Structure 1
Amino acid sequence: MPWILAPRRHRVAAGVAAVLLAACTSVPLPPERPAPVEEVRPTVPHPPAANAVERARSRWVPVDWTELPGWNDDRIAEVWPALRASCGRPAPGWAEVCARAMLEPPADDGTARAWLARWLQPWRVEAPDGQVDGLATGYFEPLVEAVRQPRGEFRVPLYGPPAPGTMAKPGWTRQQFDTLPAAKAALRGREIAWVADPLDALLLQVQGSGRLALTEADGSRRLVRLAFAGHNEQPYKSVGRWLVERGELTLDTASWPAIRAWARRNPQRVQEMLWANPRVVFFREEPLPDPSIGPRGAQGVPLVPGRSIAVDAGSIPYGTPVWLDTTEPLSATPLRRLVVAQDTGSAIVGAVRADYFWGWGADAEAQAGRMKQPLRLWALWPRGARPQ
């Protein structure tokens, strides 16, 4: 989000070789990633600065480029597809810079770095009280095997929204959808596909979207995307937190891989665990003609693996390039790179808070499911323009 106890919006996503330059016309609601059980506590706050800009949930302080750790080591040119995609929906003050970004693609990393230094000003992102340390988690786009018609082990349905007028607000809980005849009837005929593992279905719901390697009724196979289409308006409850509260996992060991391992050891309790989360997410099926294109974030543009993040929009506006200073999961390897704020999530709250989009597939799942790292952030804004 990580998103196990404290995951990711939004859906996920990692690795987009090509990004659409035109703005999307419809923006899905942000996914409901759980909030972290433990926040990384800040250290020494910075005193107020006379030239700082106060935002709704953050304070921005202008700094020199030399303050950005590792700035000269990133493959900066890789961020251009994400930057240009966001320029399809430019924030106030970005029109001129975005026009130049569209017309002046850099030839290499050095050119990109020089271009950014010429047109943008770095700002340290702080909490309103001056705290500079925060939390980085990760999310991704699940890739799950599915079938169009139930058969064999594929018995767990993925649903589109109930027909209008068939569900009250708030709607039935997850347990009620599984047990009450009226609730079951509301979803009858709304099945999109079936998967084999109930945890895969939960994973798709937590992330908010995903990809299906779908086997059709005639035996043909194709790749499709499930996009977020709403939920039952019940509160999200983390199954990771549920396991920790019952002594099945600890805060230090709780992760998505650990949850899967617990489910394999305790198959008779999986249903009980799932019912602990009353929220049910509904999907819509979308074609996926180009697998290199990521899902759309809250900004309405495709996410780019390793170059898109989800943020608190009250701290950092969508489309803002952000210098990220954190570490990779399970190691002290620095993760310092330029990303673009293109998404959000219900758990992504606070000034120095980011959900890092890893992409899709097994490697992305492994990284995102374990990511819960210390974080510092710097936002880049057009020179001469006051951050909005």
Structure 2
Amino acid sequence: MRLLRSLCLAVGLMAPLPSVAQMLEFEALDGWYDDNHLAALVNFRSTCDLLSGPEWQPLCKVAADVPDDEASARSFFELFFKPVVVGDPPALFTGYFEPELSGSLTRTPRFAWPLYRLPPEGLQGQSRASIDAGALAGRGLEILWLDDPIDVYFLQIQGSGRVRLPDGQVVRLGYAGKNGHPYRSIGQELVRQGIFSLHQVSAQVIRDWVRRNPGPGQDLLAHNPSYVFFRKIGNLPADKGPIGAMGRSLTTMRSVAIDPAFTPLGVPVWIEKDGAKPLRQLMIAQDTGGAIKGAQRADIFYGTGPQAGDAAGTIKDPGRMVQLLPIDRAYALLPEG
């Protein structure tokens, strides 16, 4: 590990971050010594080459040469990074996943709800309500069709998914763009209308309510004017996760979506999530999301399929998020004086 120590001085500056920050020692991270740091290092390597800035080239070279054992992996993070809390906890942690749905390449009486590719004119101003009413119909933009409008909605929230066709073929879909309208939470709208209290709202509760109330349910979905377009993703192995904002596959329980205005994509992030199922784990900031806003805001990737969906849909927990920043950059964030 002498090579690691000799390169510590090579760590430079990265893109600007908010200046309100608190540096910690690794001993102050709850559960740090109990995590699987090798799993985090493997995921860090998967996108390290995409990071820009003079500090990353030597750091990523070292990461590639670190022996694949737990002690070496933990030493890598402890030697090259400093834990920094950016923003004011408590954090808000939610979860997301890659859905597995049934669909068809053609419209049928069962499969009547389209998923659209991005129009050739690019992002446009049509709202969700106008698109659902047929504003894009007849233009050949349909990729395929689903059998439930709430599945279309939540697929757009997740940003990617797998759709199984009647012949057994599976189509992988990824995010292609949005219509330019702001995201509005339909869960908060249900609370505003007095239908549910805040602690009752979850993805499954919303899904069930929309299915039981198809008319008001469509009005509820239209409350969120933001609309997501998709693209087919080819040559992605079945055992790989969906493509995140960095253009690489996400890793179950090791990838997290963040607000890049506060947390740079690609950096390690220590998660201290409380709630019914506490989580203490090192993840990599490899994705973003329209509803993920703020320095202490993160969306944890729970994997693929219905079990992952059940787990992700119940997460709305407080805690603390700690960025692991290259040493010089971490010190540069501290207040002067």
Structures share fold, TM-score greater than 0.5: yes
Is the 1:79–1:307 contact (alpha carbons within 8 Å) kept by the matching residues of 2? yes
Listed one character per residue, the Cα deviations across residues 4-48 of structure 1 (whole Å, up to 9, x for unaligned) are xxxxxxxxxxxxxxxxxxxxxxxxxxxxxxxxxxxxxxxxxxxxx
Aligned with residue 198 of structure 1, among 133, 143, 149: 149
The Cα shift of 1:299 comes to 2.5
The Cα shift of 1:325 comes to 0.8
SS at match of 1:227: strand
Listed one character per residue, the Cα deviations across residues 294-316 of structure 1 (whole Å, up to 9, x for unaligned) are 22222332211101111222322
Alignment partners' CA distance in 1, 2:73 and 2:233: 35
Is the 1:62–1:121 contact (alpha carbons within 8 Å) kept by the matching residues of 2? no
Q: Cα distance 1:236–1:73, how it changes in 2: closer, same or farther (>3 A)?
A: same
Letter in 1 for 2:75: A
Alignment partners' CA distance in 1, 2:22 and 2:185: 35
Aligned with residue 295 of structure 2, among 308, 331, 351: 351
Matched, 1:287 2:234: yes
1:101 corresponding residue in structure 2: 63
SS at match of 2:198: coil
Alignment partners' CA distance in 2, 1:350 and 1:71: 24
SS at match of 1:252: helix
Alignment partners' CA distance in 2, 1:255 and 1:86: 31
Matched, 1:334 2:301: no
* Unaligned ranges ≥5, structure 2: 1-13
Matched, 1:121 2:72: no
Matched, 1:270 2:207: no
Alignment partners' CA distance in 2, 1:357 and 1:105: 26
Is the 1:232–1:280 contact (alpha carbons within 8 Å) kept by the matching residues of 2? yes
2:114 corresponding residue in structure 1: 157
The Cα shift of 1:71 comes to 0.8
SS at match of 1:61: strand
Listed one character per residue, the Cα deviations across residues 108-146 of structure 1 (whole Å, up to 9, x for unaligned) are x233223322x323223132xxx3322111111111111
1:48 corresponding residue in structure 2: none
Is the 1:327–1:334 contact (alpha carbons within 8 Å) kept by the matching residues of 2? yes
Q: Cα distance 1:188–1:356, how it changes in 2: closer, same or farther (>3 A)?
A: same
Is the 1:146–1:194 contact (alpha carbons within 8 Å) kept by the matching residues of 2? yes
1:366 corresponding residue in structure 2: 310
Is the 1:133–1:352 contact (alpha carbons within 8 Å) kept by the matching residues of 2? yes
**Bigger relative contact order, structure 1 or 2, given CA contacts below 8 A and separation 6+?**
1
1:251 corresponding residue in structure 2: 198
Listed one character per residue, the Cα deviations across residues 301-352 of structure 1 (whole Å, up to 9, x for unaligned) are 2211101111222322221111111136xx1x32001111112223222222
Alignment partners' CA distance in 1, 2:71 and 2:83: 21
SS at match of 1:66: helix
1:77 corresponding residue in structure 2: 38
1:172 corresponding residue in structure 2: 126
Higher normalized helix content (fraction of residues): 2
The normalised TM-score by structure 2 is 0.85
> How many residue pairs were aligned?
318
Alignment partners' CA distance in 1, 2:325 and 2:225: 41
Alignment partners' CA distance in 1, 2:265 and 2:131: 36
Letter in 2 for 1:95: Q
* Unaligned ranges ≥5, structure 1: 1-52
1:314 corresponding residue in structure 2: 261
1:19 corresponding residue in structure 2: none
2:94 corresponding residue in structure 1: 137
The Cα shift of 1:293 comes to 1.6
Letter in 2 for 1:242: E
Is the 1:146–1:212 contact (alpha carbons within 8 Å) kept by the matching residues of 2? yes
SS at match of 2:164: strand
Is the 1:55–1:314 contact (alpha carbons within 8 Å) kept by the matching residues of 2? no
Larger deviation: 274-283 or 257-266? 274-283
Larger deviation: 191-200 or 226-235? 226-235
Alignment partners' CA distance in 1, 2:128 and 2:77: 48
The normalised TM-score by structure 1 is 0.75
SS at match of 1:314: coil
Backbone CA RMSD of aligned residues = 2.5
SS at match of 2:242: coil
SS at match of 2:313: helix
SS at match of 1:292: coil
Alignment partners' CA distance in 1, 2:98 and 2:201: 20
SS at match of 2:196: coil
Letter in 1 for 2:127: T
Is the 2:26–2:83 contact (alpha carbons within 8 Å) kept by the matching residues of 1? no
2:4 corresponding residue in structure 1: none
Matched, 1:299 2:254: no
SS at match of 1:221: coil
1:380 corresponding residue in structure 2: 324
The Cα shift of 1:229 comes to 1.6
Alignment partners' CA distance in 1, 2:193 and 2:22: 44
SS at match of 2:195: coil
Listed one character per residue, the Cα deviations across residues 153-198 of structure 1 (whole Å, up to 9, x for unaligned) are 2111111123439xxx753223223446xx244x532111111111
Alignment partners' CA distance in 2, 1:227 and 1:385: 33
